[in-house]
Amino acid sequence: MIKKIWQNKLFQQIFRFGIVGGTAFIIDYGIFALLNQILGIHYIIAGTISFSISVIYNYILSIKWVFDVTKKQTTKDFIIFIVLSVIGLILNNIIMYISVDLMHIHELIAKIIATAIVMVYNFITRKIFIEK
């Protein structure tokens, strides 16, 4: 039974996406905490920088290990990725703003909330638009 579940392609993708997403989260959260909590950079700027760095890492591993991308990446595919990432960044920043400024949630907690929501968005949109 477990072997059959493991052999399921979608399960493997979700598992791999979780590993890539988890390590990308560590990069994103670590850089965010450093910039915001230690260096005192505003949470939106710190979040934009940390998100951008983790997105590059996430893209490389997603293409190479998570999704079935058998054809050579084209300029169109990269543009789609950039557009999806910018939407993810905007979504991340909106959630951060609502959480921190309107709901008065600490920046580090708000970052976890925003990341969890954007991770679901990333998986769905990358599965639809990148893997095809």
Angle between helices 9-33 and 43-61 (to 10 degrees): 150
Average pLDDT over residues 34-56: 95
Is the pLDDT confidence value at 130 over 90?
A: no
Average pLDDT over residues 15-25: 86
| Residue 41 CB partners (closer than 8 Å, separation 6+) | 35, 49
| DSSP assigned state of 132 | -
Average pLDDT over residues 25-53: 96
- Whole-number pLDDT of residue 59: 80
The enclosing H or E element of 40 equals: none
The C-alpha R_g of the chain, in whole angstroms, comes to 16
Q: What angle do CA 122, 128, 129 make, to 5 degrees?
A: 85
| DSSP assigned state of 74 | P
Of 122, 100, 123, nearest in space to 112 by CA = 100
- Whole-number pLDDT of residue 111: 95
Is the pLDDT confidence value at 62 over 70?
A: yes
